[in-house]
Amino acid sequence: MNSDSQQRDNALNQQLIVLVEEIKQYSANDDSAIIRVKRRIALNKFVNAVVNSGRLSKQTQWSGLPNYEDYHNEALQLTFMEICNKIDEYNPQYPVMAWVNKIFHWRFIDVVNKERKKGLIMVPKGKKISPVLSLDDINKEIHRENQISQEEILSEIINKDPDKFLISQHLRGHPEANLKVILLFLLEGNKWKEISQDLGIPLTTLSSFYQRRMHKIIDYLKKYI
Amino acid sequence: MKSTTGKLTFTVPLSFESHAIAQELVSEIHNQEKRQQVYLNSLSVYTVNNYLCCMGFETDYSESDSRNPFAVQLMNVADLIVKDIGKLECVPVLAETEVVEISPEVWEDRVGYVFVELNDSLKEAKILGFIPKARDKVVLSQLDSLEDVLVYLTELEVVESKQDEITSHIISFRQWLDGIIDSSWQKLDELLKPQQLGLAFKNELSITRGQKIDLGMHLDKISVALVMKVTSESDNEEVDILTQVYPVGEMALPEGIKLIIGDETGVGLEVVSRQDDNWIQSEFSAESGERFSITVIYGDSEVKKEFEV
């Protein structure tokens, strides 16, 4: 049994070593796009091979933490980044997965320390505060009383248009197709198709006019917030 | 262990950091549809940023519009600035979606569109593929692969860095007029015989420098001096440029030396030496910031220099 699993580990390590050698063979700063692409493809394959190896540590010493899965995911994500950026430093004296799991362990400690500072670990037992929202969670607990939304603040400024800037910016020959009108339409949740039909102006003309002025609009609105 | 060959994929685990960024952005948005849009866009950009950083690209994540609370409120935007390459739109896709619409406000000013699949738990994101140009509706089964993303972005990256190198070789006349002249451009009395001097250069407020250029092969090998005289009028953005080619060590140029001035469009002036010409020249003016090239050709060999006013 034991020697079987050892054999499998050796075969896995050989496979990973081949990929590491392939990556190292191509310089990240080579003048040739082909060389750089080859390195990146090998790097991508390497990360996939690590994920699919079945030998990534579960880091079970932390399995008692509330939100253990989130800690695990955060540390794993940091580990991917680090093995990609430090692949040239890997010492082939050690098995590849030992190197990866050591990094994974250190990053796990970092994440735990960071979150502990934020006080998340002090959450009372049984009460699970999840900082990672699911699709269904996104819209829960937003109706806080007495709080004005950003939409309301923005639409007030746009309606007032204190310097008459938004109304002055319009498509040539179409004073009615100005930024104020477009912005109010958008804040009400209208789609570009509807706005285009309403103003009788081609959609691409309108959206491109709007997009190009975005930074001016933001700078203007910021002055009054 | 599963196969490591075949179609390339990349999956990013999403946790505290990615969700904290998304939650910060939606914290003051009450409209449900907008909240979901901003949240998913934010996770999608985070995912692509993470992938590109793993692959050794440099990004400007924090400067992207997708990180700006106003921009996300006013546009359906999920951009990521990739340094020296441009903006990549990172379109989020929920599981089992087949067709995606790209929002019109991001149809322009993008180097490409990357599609990111998010699962319902939002704990994991998978990069699906990309298209280089915006389309109204995108069928996900027809996307270019992740390998294509790497090839496409790397090619843009390499082209960009080569252009940077070219720029550093361009000779700036503004610097000449400020007295900063590369020592490979010599004073004329160091380069030419006294008899050759004074033919065209009188006492003017200008800078004149020359450089020795070797042309031709074997028996046909000759050396010429490329001479540049730059005159600037103080109240004018324009610079007058006189460029001449002299023989070095001889008094006359061989027949058939070409001097070509080209601008950015490639169109240019051309002068060819006739028998017993002592020099050939070309005169023109250029505006500040304008770039042009000077090419000297003899037989099969040519030397090209790039300048900026």
Averaged pLDDT, B242-249? 87
Give the pLDDT band (50/70/90) at residue B278: confident
B23/A131 touch (CB, cutoff 8 Å), yes or no: yes
Summarize pLDDT for B124-139 with one digit per residue, the tens: 999 999 999 988 899 9
Q: What is the DSSP string of A121-166?
A: GGPPTT----SS--TTTTTTT---TT---HHHHHHHHHHH-TTSHH
Question: Cβ of A223 under 8 Å from any chain B Cβ?
Answer: no
Q: Is the pLDDT assigned to residue B279 strictly greater than 70?
A: yes
Q: How far apart are CA B210 and CA A61, in angstroms?
A: 74
Summarize pLDDT for A178-205 with one digit per residue, the tens: 999 999 999 888 999 999 999 999 998 8
Summarize pLDDT for B36-49 with one digit per residue, the tens: 999 999 999 999 99
Averaged pLDDT, B14-31? 92
HSE of B288 in the Cβ direction (CA atoms, 13 Å)?
A: 10
Identify the top-confidence range among B1-15, B158-172, B268-282: B268-282
- Please give, rounded to a whole number of angstroms, the shortest distance from the CA of B108 to a CA of chain A: 7
Report domain extents, chain B.
Answer: 10-163, 171-308
Averaged pLDDT, B267-286? 84
Residue with the larger pLDDT of the pair B7 and A82 = A82
Q: What average pLDDT is seen over chain B?
A: 85
Q: Is the pLDDT assigned to residue A129 strictly greater than 60?
A: no
Q: Is the pLDDT assigned to residue B223 strictly greater than 90?
A: no
pLDDT (0 to 100) of residue B118: 97
Percent of chain B with pLDDT over 90: 43
Residues of B in contact with A202 (CB under 8 A): none
What was the ipTM of the complex prediction?
0.91
Mutate to test the interface with B, among A80, A166, A193 (most CBs of B within 10 A): A80
pLDDT (0 to 100) of residue B2: 36
Question: Cβ of B107 under 8 Å from any chain A Cβ?
Answer: yes
**Residues B261, B293 contacting (CB under 8 angstroms):** yes
pLDDT (0 to 100) of residue B217: 67
Which has the minimum average pLDDT: A124-138, B141-155, B243-257? A124-138
Question: Cβ of A142 under 8 Å from any chain B Cβ?
Answer: yes
Find all residues with CB under 8 Å of A122, minimum gap 6, and list them: none
B71/A214 touch (CB, cutoff 8 Å), yes or no: yes
Q: Is the pLDDT assigned to residue A138 strictly greater than 60?
A: yes
Query: What number of residues does chain B have?
Result: 309
H/E stretch holding B5: none
Averaged pLDDT, B156-164? 76
Which has the minimum average pLDDT: A140-149, A177-186, B195-204? B195-204
Question: Cβ of A3 under 8 Å from any chain B Cβ?
Answer: no
**Residues A131, A120 contacting (CB under 8 angstroms):** yes
Give the pLDDT band (50/70/90) at residue A164: very high
Q: Is the pLDDT assigned to residue B51 strictly greater than 90?
A: yes
- For B118, nearest residue in chain A (alpha carbons): A135
Q: Is the pLDDT assigned to residue B6 strictly greater than 60?
A: no
Mutate to test the interface with A, among B29, B47, B68, B74 (most CBs of A within 10 A): B74
Residues of B in contact with A43 (CB under 8 A): 54-56
Percent of chain A with pLDDT over 70: 91
Give the pLDDT band (50/70/90) at residue A81: very high
Residue entry with tokens 């994974």? A104
pLDDT (0 to 100) of residue B241: 85
Q: If DSSP codes are grouped into helix, strand and coil, which group holds residue A6?
A: helix
Averaged pLDDT, B263-289? 81
- Please give, rounded to a whole number of angstroms, the shortest distance from the CA of A22 to a CA of chain B: 13
Identify the top-confidence range among B43-47, B148-152, B218-222, B253-257: B43-47
pLDDT (0 to 100) of residue B3: 36
Residue with the larger pLDDT of the pair B2 and B75 = B75
Question: Cβ of B265 under 8 Å from any chain A Cβ?
Answer: no
Find all residues with CB under 8 Å of A189, minimum gap 6, and list them: B31, B33, B34
Query: What number of residues does chain A have?
Result: 225
Q: How far apart are CA B153 and CA B267, in angstroms?
A: 31
B157/A33 touch (CB, cutoff 8 Å), yes or no: yes
Averaged pLDDT, A88-111? 94
pLDDT (0 to 100) of residue B262: 84
Q: CA–CA distance from B40 to each of A23, A130, A157, B159 (Å)?
A: 33, 17, 27, 32
- Please give, rounded to a whole number of angstroms, the shortest distance from the CA of A165 to a CA of chain B: 17
Residues of A in contact with B109 (CB under 8 A): 211
Averaged pLDDT, B205-230? 81
Q: Is the pLDDT assigned to residue B4 strictly greater than 90?
A: no
Summarize pLDDT for B68-94 with one digit per residue, the tens: 999 999 999 999 999 989 999 999 999
For the domain spanning B171-308, the CATH number is 2.60.40
pLDDT (0 to 100) of residue A145: 52
Question: Which fold, B10-163?
Answer: Trna Endonuclease; Chain: A, domain 1 (3.40.1350)
Give the pLDDT band (50/70/90) at residue B234: low
- Which residues numbered 202-231 in B keep a CB inside 8 Å of some CB on A? none
pLDDT (0 to 100) of residue B191: 78
Q: How far apart are CA A86 and CA A78, in angstroms?
A: 12
pLDDT (0 to 100) of residue A127: 47
Q: Given B1, B13, B36, which is nearest A138 (Cβ)?
A: B36
pLDDT (0 to 100) of residue B138: 94
Averaged pLDDT, B284-301? 83
pLDDT (0 to 100) of residue A128: 47
